Structure 1
Amino acid sequence: MAATIEQALAELPREDESKTPVEFGCVTCHRGRPRPTSLVDELTEAYAEGGVEEALATYDGLKEKFLLQGCYDFREPALNDFAYTLLESGDTDGAIRALTKNAELFPESGNVWDSLAEATLAAGDPEQARIYYKKALELDPRNRNAAAKLESLER
């Protein structure tokens, strides 16, 4: 699309050929990104190419390059959503790795700890899951999911 617009602008007649040529750049949809994709899509693609460590390295690289530019949303849901795709595909270890990174980045988020607890429980570690659910409730006492899961684990 950008190439088509650029070509159309170049073909417009100019009154004064000495004027600076018109330059065009796509800002609204790409905001400087090479491709208009979401952060979760980028992470999923990197994961397919090299596993969870490649995906997390991609996250770090994109964050370093694009943070505060409006290109990608680096808030906690991005890694959470990515981790849940891993969990749903059966890669509990990868999901735990991504959620652990998210907990390091957002240690005050009860939701992040709740998600880490769910993945840990899915991996078959109820003792560690219990610790994470307690942390989630400590940060967000209204977290009904964490309260219910913790109650069922303590029976």
Structure 2
Amino acid sequence: MERALHFANDNKWDEFKNESSHIPYSKWIPSENMSWLILELEMNITIRDIQIRVANHMIKPNLTTNNSTVQSIVMQMNMGEGKTSVILPMLCVSLSSSNSSLVRIIVLKFLFPTNHQSLRYKLGGLLNRRIFPCVCRRDLNFTNEQINRIENRFKRSIR
């Protein structure tokens, strides 16, 4: 409601109408996905319908072509619709729900500090998810010792 009031005060009536028409929890049941509910509490937000649809589609794409599941998907959203700030943390907590999975996020170098800090804040609190940065570039040549250290680090991060 705060956002709706902000838009009304700024005479942004299209945004106000869009914001006030949002009905929380109409596209998902919080008791079935507690990690998303905790994420909402941690971030002081309400996850929007479009964010739920995108996250669910990315977690379990239900596209088929010639009776075979499509392995790659492409989606597009407008700026400001919560791709990095909302959907990415939703995907992280969903995909890392078992103790045997490790989620890898690839980020451009100049975005790394901001994204790393944001994910640590959103996932490290009540959700108690750890973030292990691993900066890598295509032009790096690793020795066997370095590869073994990276592998051991990934194995430790799963525990």
The interval holding the TM-score normalised by the smaller chain is: 0.3 to 0.5
TM-score when normalising by structure 2: 0.35
Greater Rg over alpha carbons, structure: 1
TM-score norm. by structure 1 comes to 0.35
Does 1 or 2 have the higher relative contact order (CA < 8 Å, sep 6+)?
2
